[in-house]
Chain A
Amino acid sequence: MTGPGGPDPDHFEALFHQAPCGYLITDDAGRITAVNETFVRWTGYSRSGLVGSKLQSLMPVGDQILYSTHCIPQLGINGAVSEIAVEIIAADGGRRAALLSASRSPGSGQEPASVRVIIFSAHERRMYERELVSALRAAEEAEARRAQAEKELQHLALHDALTGLPNRAGLKAKLDAVPAGGGLAVLFIDLDHFKAVNDSLGHAAGDDLLVSVANRLRAAVPGTGIVARLSGDEFVVVDSFAGSREATGLAAGLLEILKTPILIEGLEIVTSASIGVAVNGDDDETPEDLVRRADIAMYRAKELGRSRWELHQPAESDYTVDRLRALGELRRGINDGALRVHYQPRIDLHTGRATGVEALVRWQHPTRGLLPPSEFITMAEESGLVRPLGAWVLGETLRQADNWRRESRRGADLDFAVNLSARQLSDPGLVTMVEDALRLRGIDSSHLLLEITETALMADPGGALDSLTALKNLGVGLAVDDFGTGYSSLTYLKKFPIDELKIDRSFINGLGSDSGDSAIVGSCIDLAHAVGIRAVAEGVETSGQVQTLKDMGCDLAQGFHFARPLPAPALKEWLDAHTRDERAGA
């Protein structure tokens, strides 16, 4: 009793035991020292069972961990926890949702610290909170799904669907993150003859090949490296290297790995690649510049025979770049059928009859239109592309010759003049190539005339003599083209087994107006006749020129005066018309 109106201890007792919530007192470790009736009834345990045991032991393990890691230190430091959601496992094994608040008295002197705990039944609140949390989780998941979808979309935009490698945009994104500077190198990889696989086995096989190549590259390139597929059969590897030797070492390794046969649709396919390597030399160079330089080096690797790597030197000029780009286009042009042959009639000045045609190549360029040989032959000559180009022109001309021969008697009489380049002349396979081409179409070798420029002839007279002799033995006619522009030497001229001298158009141009040119043309014709061969005038444009040439005793002539070089069907029409005129005139 504390006096009138003061609290009655019995009331405290009742308040403690009959309160509408559980009251407990524990020590710092959670051991229960006192517990009220409400809690005893609510849990169904006996009072003696509860006192002495740990409060945490009434909770499921998850709550125990939370209580140990969070509530006990918080009680120790802060002195209180409030409204912690826990479950109490009742005597019947059922779980009772509860809210737990507690405060701690530090204790003093002999008095140990104690923790006063209130536990509310929180069934309703727990349900409510669970709903809220599950709604929150659902919202988080939806957000995560959205983020994932966005990520996947971005992945799609930056990756090649076939191989899973970064595409051109993906490579750019990755390169943007790479700091420019020394040590970075780019390997530009282009498969050799990929088109042949696609053409012969179909696109599905081509795709299989690309996937297999992508996997091989991915496995062979160190984890630090980037492997990307730019387009078609072009792949790029970017990585840091200790030096150019290490970079070309990887290139050599990749060439070997790619050479291992791949089994596609039951067929063993052996593929190879050409690789261009560019190593960063200075800090200003961007990764994009490196890719461009590696691309150029790759073209050179192709030029030099494929299945090899080439290292780009930073000093290589833009001229080289343009030239290599143009070479790449020409190479594709040859492969993709962009070349054409036009035919210009050759007229016998004695009879006025068209006795043959000169085959002249044209390149149907994708953006620049139909190009004459002057636009690309030098480049082809320098790069060695002139060999496949020359072979194609000969083959195509003989195919056409075969067609015309079958069509008419007139067609069968025609001679075909085809140009040979200096490179072709030095090609040991030339004679076999010509022989095979003739045999393929069944054309009599006497109907073929090969034209060699004077310059080509004089570049390696000894080698030229051997080749020309061999061709002569086939029965093929031989002409010296552009005569008068080089170092004409009668001595050499006599040595070569040639049948015809073609006087350069620049002299024909001056006929009738320039007495010097007339003298040159006259002596060329005399020279030809002196060694027993035909004289042919090129670039004849006027009837006056025709007359002068006739007067000089020139044997054959060609030029716009008669006809410009024409596609095969137009030439055929011209020839038919010309033949009618011949007859009419005869």
Chain B
Amino acid sequence: MVEAVASAVSPVIRRNNVTVSGRADGPVMLFAHGYGCDQAMWRRLVPYFSDTHRLVLFDNVGAGRSDVEAYDREKYGSLAGYAADLLEICEALDLKDVILVAHSVSAMVGVIAAAQEPERFSRLVLVAPSPRYTNDPAHGYVGGFSKEDIEGLLASLDSNYFAWAEALAPMAMGNPEDPELSEELRSSFCRTDPAIASHFARVTFLSDTRNILDQVGTDSLVLQCSEDLLAPPEVGSYVHRHLAHSTLVQLQATGHCPHVSAPQDTAQAILNYLSGSP
């Protein structure tokens, strides 16, 4: 069950649409969604932890039901702005010994946050992380994309301008039976302001946070998917090499979102990791 956190507690809670669920006295798991979606993308994964952990989920500003008014192009012009939000959420809820589960670009946001306030986090679970999406031939780094590819993405986002704006309402016909999914959630899922989506894409896919990795000493799990367009195997091993206390686990799940496509395997990998001593 999801308990809405009283927004009177802190403006941060409303800004990031923070929700808390799970076992109130359990260790804290904080879930950070990646680009292109919102906190609902954790839906299939969180049931594996709700009996044992206190679960804190949120939307990045500009995504889901966050406060779009709070979107400041300057602040969110770098991943540091998102990291500041992440730390503010921890502070607002007074979270300690946080197990951060972060996907895609938010994995690197989490790394920045852990470099800034290492005492806040006990473990980092990085799902399909990438510290740099574009190739850097000068340093022999393979990110998977060229700058032109990223321009192509931005053009593609422009093409979908109206689709983003209309919240991609699901079709009435051919809808799968999924009674758990409330109509409200259905209509808001992955809704993003198109202008923000475009800006966030630019910030995400042109980010370079490789130098932060060396500053983090938090115990970490790197989950590498198969056939992940956004994070090829070279990237996963790069992250693993540069994070001092990290474990690299290769998942069978294909694609970029194993927590969606293979929630059970993903949960198992995380549980295995958490049961080991840090």
Contact = CB atoms under 8 A, between A and B. Distances in A.
Contact of B156 (A28, A82, A86): A86
Contacts of A83: 163, 168
A72 B43 contact: no
Given A69-B35, A69-B104, A74 B176 contact: no
Given A29-B261, A74-B189, A78-B181, A68 B174 contact: no
Contacts of B44: 76-77
Contacts of B56: none
Interface in A132-178: 132-133, 136-137, 140
B10 interface: no
Contacts of B228: 68
Contacts of B177: 106
Interface in A79-119: 79-87, 101, 103-106, 116
Nearest to A62: B152
Contacts of A564: none
B176 A104 contact: yes
Given A80-B171, A82-B169, A82-B170, A68 B162 contact: no
B260 A70 contact: no
A64 interface: yes
A130 B159 contact: yes
Interface residues of B, number: 50
A61 to B, nearest CB: 4
A443 to B, nearest CB: 73
A30 B37 CA distance: 18
A39 B157 CA distance: 24
Contacts of B274: none
Given A65-B230, A77-B40, A82 B168 contact: yes
Contact of A78 (B35, B150, B190): B190
A87 B37 CA distance: 21
Contacts of B176: 79-80, 103-106
A69 B36 contact: yes
B124 interface: no
A512 interface: no
Interface stretch (B23-31, B76-84, B216-224, B249-257): B249-257
* Chain A interface bracket (under 10, 10 to 19, 20 to 34, 35 or more): 35 or more
A304 B68 CA distance: 60
Contact of A60 (B152, B175, B227): B152
Nearest to A57: B229
Contacts of B58: none
Interface in B37-63: 37, 40-41, 43-44
Contact of B174 (A66, A103, A129): A103
A130 B145 CA distance: 25
B171 A74 contact: no
A136 B157 CA distance: 14
A66 B256 contact: no
A541 interface: no
Given A60-B156, A69-B230, A76 B261 contact: yes
A126 interface: yes
B268 interface: no
B174 A78 contact: no
A566 to B, nearest CB: 70
Contact of A70 (B37, B154, B195): B37
Contacts of B193: none
B254 A29 contact: yes
Contact of A77 (B41, B175, B255): B41
Contact of A73 (B153, B157, B254, B260): B260
Nearest to A134: B158
A85 B257 contact: no
A170 B159 CA distance: 44
A83 B163 CA distance: 7
Interface string A162-203: 000000000000000000000000000000000000000000
Interface string A38-76: 000000000000000000100011111110111011101
A544 B238 CA distance: 113
Given A84-B160, A106-B176, A61 B41 contact: no
A77 B43 contact: yes
Contacts of A101: 171
A77 B171 contact: no
A61 B34 CA distance: 19
A72 B230 CA distance: 13
A80 B163 CA distance: 13
A65 B229 contact: yes
B186 A73 contact: no
Contact of B153 (A28, A62, A80, A105): A62
B174 A73 contact: no
A61 B147 CA distance: 11
B156 A66 contact: yes
B178 interface: yes
B151 interface: yes
Interface string B166-196: 0011110011111001000010011000010
B171 A136 contact: no
Contacts of A85: 156, 159-160, 163
Given A73-B190, A82-B169, 8 more contacts: A61-B149, A62-B151, A65-B205, A72-B255, A72-B260, A76-B44, A106-B178, A132-B161
Interface of B: 34-37, 40-41, 43-44, 104, 145, 149-163, 168-171, 174-178, 181, 186, 189-190, 195, 205, 227-230, 254-257, 260-261
